[in-house]
Every structure is written in structure tokens, then in C-alpha cells.
Amino acid sequence: MAIRILPPEVASRIAAGEVVERPASVVKELVENALDAGACHITVEAESGGRRLIRVSDDGTGIASQDVELAFHRYATSKLSTIDDLSRITTLGFRGEALASIASVSRLTLITRAAGEPVGVRLYLEGGQIVEREAVGAPQGTMITVENLFYNVPARLKFLKKESTERGHIAALISRYAMAYPHVRFVLSHGSQELLRTTGSGDLLAVLGEVYGLEMASQMIAVEGRADSHTRPDLHPVRVRGYTGLPSLNRSNRGQITLFVNGRWVQDSSLTVAVVQAYHTMLMVGRYPVTVLMIEVPPEELDVNVHPTKAEVRFRQPDAVFSAVQRAVRQALVAEAPPPAVRGEVVWGSPEWAVRRERLAQVTRDRMQQLDIDLGVESPGQHGHQPTPAHEAGAESAAGGPQRTRSLPLLRVVGQVGATYVVAEGPNGLFLIDQHAAHERILYEQFMAERAGQSVASQELLEAVVIELPPDQMALAEESLDILHGVGFGIELFGRNTVRLRAVPALVAGGDPVGTLLAALGEIECGEMPTGATAEEALIARVCKQVAIKAGQLLSHREMEALIRQLERCQTPQTCPHGRPTLLHLSAEQLARQFGRLGAI
Ligand code: ADP
Ligand code: MG
């Protein structure tokens, strides 16, 4: 094929793909424009996850009537005029691409009236082409309505996710901007449902309450830090403000670490690490905090022109910013939340250890009672009562049938090491069992056996709990109702951003119902699935992990025996549901070799 220059409408749709990936990217650009225009009230409406309609209205400066057509040209902006301006950008926009891009892949209506103009303008475009222009009465400000997004880019349309997913992205985005701009009043609605409303009072904590719910917001503490320019005059000042969660408020992924740099939401993996590091030894491995931080640096220290979506930035002194963030969060945590004693670093055998031992023992006793773990001696015939998994039906008849071949040898409990591992002796050497992983495996198989018997038993809570969820998690909960019901959660939607939890899977009934549900939602969100597992299996695995005995819990001899007996009954006792080993084996031969006994005379 000969080389040709693409017709402008094709070129513009291709270029639009860089800025507009999904409905939430349209919302982001329009909201940023409203903020740049100095708006105090921003209203966002969406329908069908933003596919059918997105409307952003603001009370900002408006666009002068002679400029309205120009605003839809690529590289048309009022925010920058020379290349030098780029090094001191204080607005969110500057590339002059957004309106042109959005208009080229949708049907767009603009209504705007600039301050001081008697009437407003209405402009209607299809695929970037102006179809209509008329004078209209309008309040000061701008309202942009984007309909049928990607109607002329079928390839993009195909890649859009379910309505609830796209809606979740929009909700998460507005939640973030509401937190970064507490002085601005945001209202977000989807169809007839209002998802978020902030007051614009300027109080970040109040916004956190709106976004996360009061329960979560009450577990967040203020962060306020300034890099000290006295000790390091060579570094530019960095200001870090915001809120961060107490260690007890944690998540299974980094999705709730929200960072703004000079008012711009950024995704910066290095700064995310700085936040996580600030929690060193306060959070378990694999758990992440909930954090919202506003980082401010002099504009000339920052390169915002890295990517068309402007979600990445470069710092001239990345280390200065990294350490300012880490220090500010750490300071806040240490001041308000001394590391919980049980999880602190304790050296085995130290005097402190003896004290902790008693406390741990108590914690463990309570926990075991809560979990109602089968700690007693094995009741006769108990195994036979468990529904037999379908694929195993042939190998084992019901009660009293021949035992299936053992996948673990008979083990004799010797003791516990570090309140984490059970030491046991088998016919051929020594076994070390990870108590947490083993219990996860046991719960998982019990769960799966119940499921194979068609119904997962649910246990009604004494009192239903009403839980407020952040809007994006709410979308997730809504989308996953079937799966959640399937595994035994009695959960229903209960008004704006709240769900009502009536029942939990019976197997985990003794635990913390809210924590269990949040863990399940966390799994759906991040989907760290073992290969080949269905969403449902992954979720069950996550719930089991949440309620399993933790490392650091002292177990009595009887409790350890009960654990081992139950592990022996598992079909796949060697690994936890996530694939990590539950036990290590040191054979008699290995021991003999290590001690130089093999071949000794
Ligand atoms: P950029 O934001 O990078 O300048 P856009 O394509 O997003 O580019 O917008 C083009 C121009 O249109 C802006 O520079 C601004 O002058 C004007 N504009 C867009 N949205 C608004 C709004 N909500 N209020 C006032 N002016 C706006
Ligand atoms: Mg813009």
C-alpha cells in the first residue's frame, strides 16, 4: 500500500485513544477543566456506566462566546502560550487535547456562559464536527454533555467493561477529586441514584466520611509534614498533608493509596512504596494501608508532561519527595498509633517474650472460641457426615466406608515453634507445619465440600450489620451479589453506598463478619487468583485466609492435635489454597546425613 496522510477525522480518532480510554477518562478531563475554571460546585451525571451519557456541570468562569469553537481544536488551550510556561504549570490541563479528543469520539453538547456575557452559547458536535450553534439563556459556567461515547470507534466500544465496572471507575475517580478538593462541592449521580455528595466545606475529614463512610474515616489520622529545609538546604521544600489509616484499617491491595501531587491525581509506584514502607512492621506482609495524601512541590521541580493522561509525573529530586512522604506518614503513625504489642518484633526467649506469651495465649484462647474450631477429640463418625465431593464419590462411600488413601502420614505433635509452626513427628522423620497455611487449607476444603453438596450453609448474624462502602467497592459488591450469595453471604443492597449483611458462611461464623466481607470484596477487586481457579474459588480461599488461625498465636497441645487431625483429612494437605506449602518434611535419612550418621562406622 502506498503511503498516505490519514484523513483528519481518522487521525483525530486515533489520537483520541490516548486521552480517552474509557468513560472515566472523559469524566476526569471534564472535571479537571471545571477545576481549572475555578468552579465551586461540580455536578457529574452518568448513565449506563457513562456509555450512554456523561454530563459535567460547573459554575466556573465559562468560555467566552467567541472562543467556543476554538476550544474544540486540537492543541487549543488558554492555559499555556510558550514552551517556558510548561515548567511552571499550575493548572491541571495544558495540552489542549481533551475537548477535541472527546468530541471526536462522541456526540457532544456544550452550554456555556462566560462571566459578563448576557447570553450563553449552545454548541452541538458529532464526531468532532460542529453541527449546530445557537444563543441560549444559561447560568454562568459550563455544562458539557457527552453522549454515545465511542459510537464511531467500534474497536474501543468492544473493550468497555460491564456497566457496573465503568460506573465503579467513575465513582472512584470523583471520590479522589472530592478528597483533593474539599473546598469544592461535588455531586455524583448515576441514573437516578446519587452516589456521592460532598459539602465543599473544606474539611477533608468530612469528605473522607462521605467517601469511605464514618466507620473507616474514624480510623484515619492526620498527616502533616514539611521537609526540613534547615537541615538540607540543598533540597527543595516538599509539603505532605492528608490522612492515613491506622494499621488496623488495611486492604489486600494498594488500590486505596491515593496520591495527589500539586492537586493532580498521580499513579506513582515509588511514592506508593514510600507510604507502605512507613508502615514497616505495623502491617502484615501482603496488607496495604488506606491513605490519601496531597503532596506539594514547587511547580518547576515537577515535570507533568510525561503522558497524555497526565497521571504520571517526574520529580527533579525524587528522593527528596520519597523521604518526605515516608517520614510524614511514619511520624503520624508513631505519634498516634504505637505498633500493636502482639505484632511487634519480639525476640524469642527475651524477657519480653514471657510477658507476651501469656497475652498471646489469652488472645489465642479467645480466638479459638470465637472460631468454634473443632478442638475436641475427634467425635466418632464425624468425617462421614461431611458431604462427599463429587469427584471422590467412587473412592469413598458414606459413613463407615473404607478410608481413602492417606495423603499425609500419621503425625504426633511435638510442640510449637515461634507461635507459628507446629513441630510433629511422622513415621519417617520430622514435620514442620505452618499453622496459618494449614488452617487455611482445612477451612478451604470444608468449604468446597459443602459447596459440592449443593448448598453452602449460612449462619444468620444475631444482628444484621449495615456497612458503608466506598462507591467503587459498592459497585463491586453489587456486581458480585450472586457470587457472594453463592458462598454463603446473606447480603443485600441497602441504600446509597451501604449494604446490609445478614448472614455469613457458617464455617466462618465465629470470626469478624465485616472483616470477612471486606476480605471477600478485596479478593474480587484484585483477583490474585491461584491459576485455574474460578472467581468463586478465589473468593472462598480469601475468606478462609481471613479467618484462619494467624501466625503468632500460641496453640495448646490439644489445639495442635486437632489441627493436624483435620489436616490429615484434607485431600491436598501439602499446600494452602494459594499454593504455598503447609508443611516441610525432614526425613530420617536427611537428619542422619546432616548429623554425619549415614555411613558412619
Ligand atoms: P486544556 O485543559 O489542556 O487547556 P481542553 O481541551 O481540556 O484543554 O480545553 C480547552 C480549553 O477550553 C481550555 O484551555 C479552557 O480555556 C476551555 N475550557 C474547557 N472546559 C472549560 C470549562 N469547564 N470552563 C471554562 N473553560 C473551559
Ligand atoms: Mg483540559
Strand partners, 423: 415, 432
Q: Are strands 429-434 and 421-426 parallel, antiparallel or unpaired?
A: antiparallel
Ligand 1 contacts CB of residue 79 (under 6 A): yes
pLDDT band at 51 (very low <50, low <70, confident <90, very high): very high
Assess contact for 195 and 50: CB atoms under 8 A.
no
With CA atoms as reference, report the closest residue to 157 among 264, 10, 21.
Answer: 21
Q: Determine the distance from the C-alpha atom of residue 286 to the mean position of all C-alpha atoms in its chain, rounded to a whole number.
A: 12
pLDDT at 590 over 90: no
Distance 26 CA to ligand 2 centre (A): 10
**Residue from 26, 33, 91 whose mutation best tests the ligand 1 pocket (most atoms within 8 A of CB):** 33
CA dihedral 553, 559, 560, 563 (to 10 degrees): -100
Alpha-carbon separation of residue 304 from 22, 110, 172 (angstroms): 21, 28, 22
pLDDT band at 396 (very low <50, low <70, confident <90, very high): very low
Residue with cell 511520624: 331
Q: Whose CA is nearest to atom 21 of ligand 1?
A: 33
Q: Which residues, at least 6 apart from 156, have a Cβ–Cβ distance to it below 8 Å?
A: 17, 105, 150
Q: Which residues, at least 6 apart from 237, have a Cβ–Cβ distance to it below 8 Å?
A: 226, 227, 229, 297, 298
Distance 48 CA to ligand 1 centre (A): 26
Rounded Cα–Cα distance for residues 125 and 108 (Å): 5
Q: Quick one: CA dihedral 70, 71, 73, 78, positive or negative?
A: positive
pLDDT band at 178 (very low <50, low <70, confident <90, very high): very high
Assess contact for 243 and 222: CB atoms under 8 A.
yes
Of 52-56, 62-66, 327-331, 450-454, give the lowest mean pLDDT range. Answer: 450-454
Greater confidence (407 vs 425) lies with 425
Q: Provide the percentage of residues in the chain whose pLDDT is more than 90.
A: 36
Q: What is the pLDDT of residues 432-441, one digit of tens each?
A: 999 999 999 9
Alpha-carbon separation of residue 478 from 471, 485, 505 (angstroms): 10, 11, 18
Closest ligand, as measured to the CA of 142 = 1
pLDDT at 176 over 50: yes
Assess contact for 131 and 125: CB atoms under 8 A.
yes
Distance 261 CA to ligand 1 centre (A): 21
With CA atoms as reference, report the closest residue to 253 among 529, 509, 492.
Answer: 529
**Tell me, what's the pLDDT at 230?**
55
Q: What is the pLDDT of residues 505-526, one digit of tens each?
A: 888 777 788 888 888 887 776 5
* Grid cell locating 83: 514552551
Greater confidence (268 vs 407) lies with 268
Alpha-carbon separation of residue 431 from 63, 320, 586, 588 (angstroms): 74, 48, 6, 11
Q: Whose CA is nearest to atom 17 of ligand 1?
A: 71
Question: What average pLDDT does this structure show over 309-315?
Answer: 81
Distance 149 CA to ligand 2 centre (A): 18
pLDDT band at 392 (very low <50, low <70, confident <90, very high): very low
Question: What average pLDDT does this structure show over 393-422?
Answer: 64
* Grid cell locating 86: 510548561
Q: Whose CA is nearest to atom 8 of ligand 1?
A: 96
pLDDT at 25 over 70: yes
First to last CA, the chain: 83
Ligand 1 contacts CB of residue 472 (under 6 A): no
pLDDT band at 352 (very low <50, low <70, confident <90, very high): low
Rounded Cα–Cα distance for residues 8 and 459 (Å): 62
Distance 156 CA to ligand 1 centre (A): 24
Atom of ligand 1 nearest to the CA of 95: 3
Q: Whose CA is nearest to atom 16 of ligand 1?
A: 78
Count CB atoms within 10 A of the CB of residue 402: 8
pLDDT band at 313 (very low <50, low <70, confident <90, very high): confident
With CA atoms as reference, report the closest residue to 472 among 209, 166, 252.
Answer: 166
pLDDT band at 452 (very low <50, low <70, confident <90, very high): confident
Collapsing DSSP to helix, strand or coil, 414 comes out as strand
Question: What average pLDDT does this structure show over 141-168?
Answer: 92
With CA atoms as reference, report the closest residue to 67 among 59, 57, 58, 77.
Answer: 77
Greater confidence (31 vs 379) lies with 31
pLDDT at 413 over 70: yes
Q: Which residues, at least 6 apart from 526, have a Cβ–Cβ distance to it below 8 Å?
A: 252, 253, 255
Greater confidence (591 vs 354) lies with 591
Ligand 1 contacts CB of residue 63 (under 6 A): yes
Distance 32 CA to ligand 2 centre (A): 6
**Tell me, what's the pLDDT at 409?**
76
pLDDT band at 60 (very low <50, low <70, confident <90, very high): very high
Assess contact for 108 and 145: CB atoms under 8 A.
yes
Q: Quick one: CA dihedral 208, 210, 214, 215, positive or negative?
A: negative
Closest ligand, as measured to the CA of 100 = 1
Ramachandran area for residue 400 (φ above 0: left; ψ -120 to 50: alpha; else beta) = left
pLDDT at 529 over 80: no
Alpha-carbon separation of residue 392 from 91, 406, 447, 572 (angstroms): 64, 13, 15, 13
pLDDT at 417 over 70: yes
Total residues found in the chain within this entry: 601
Distance 174 CA to ligand 2 centre (A): 16
Rounded Cα–Cα distance for residues 110 and 98 (Å): 14
pLDDT at 384 over 90: no
**Tell me, what's the pLDDT at 398?**
37
DSSP assignments along 540-570, one per residue: HHHHHHHHSPPTT----HHHHHHHHHHHHT-
* Grid cell locating 68: 467556543
Ligand 1 contacts CB of residue 77 (under 6 A): yes
Distance 415 CA to ligand 1 centre (A): 69
Q: Which residues, at least 6 apart from 338, have a Cβ–Cβ distance to it below 8 Å?
A: none
Assess contact for 290 and 211: CB atoms under 8 A.
no
With CA atoms as reference, report the closest residue to 64 among 110, 112, 130.
Answer: 112
Ligand 1 contacts CB of residue 328 (under 6 A): no
**Tell me, what's the pLDDT at 200?**
93
**Tell me, what's the pLDDT at 347?**
44
With CA atoms as reference, report the closest residue to 88 among 234, 301, 293.
Answer: 301
Question: What average pLDDT does this structure show over 544-554?
Answer: 86
**Tell me, what's the pLDDT at 240?**
95
Ligand 1 contacts CB of residue 56 (under 6 A): no
pLDDT at 169 over 90: yes
With CA atoms as reference, report the closest residue to 17 among 157, 156, 160.
Answer: 156
Q: Classify each residue of 82-102 as buried b or exposed e, where b means 16 or more C-beta atoms within 10 Å of its C-beta.
A: eeeeeeebebbbbbbbbbbbb
Assess contact for 292 and 255: CB atoms under 8 A.
no
Ligand 1 contacts CB of residue 43 (under 6 A): no
Q: What is the pLDDT of residues 191-245, one digit of tens each?
A: 999 999 999 999 898 899 888 887 788 888 899 987 665 556 677 789 999 999 9
* Grid cell locating 146: 457527552
Q: What is the pLDDT of residues 479-496, one digit of tens each?
A: 888 888 888 899 998 888
Q: What is the mean pLDDT of the chain?
A: 82
pLDDT band at 399 (very low <50, low <70, confident <90, very high): very low
Closest ligand, as measured to the CA of 42 = 1
pLDDT at 340 over 50: no
**Tell me, what's the pLDDT at 188?**
96
- Considering the entire predicted model, what is its pTM? 0.66
- Mean pLDDT highest for which of 168-182, 272-286, 478-492? 168-182
Collapsing DSSP to helix, strand or coil, 337 comes out as coil
**Tell me, what's the pLDDT at 304?**
83
Collapsing DSSP to helix, strand or coil, 188 comes out as strand
Q: What are phi and psi of 324, to 5 degrees?
A: -65, -45
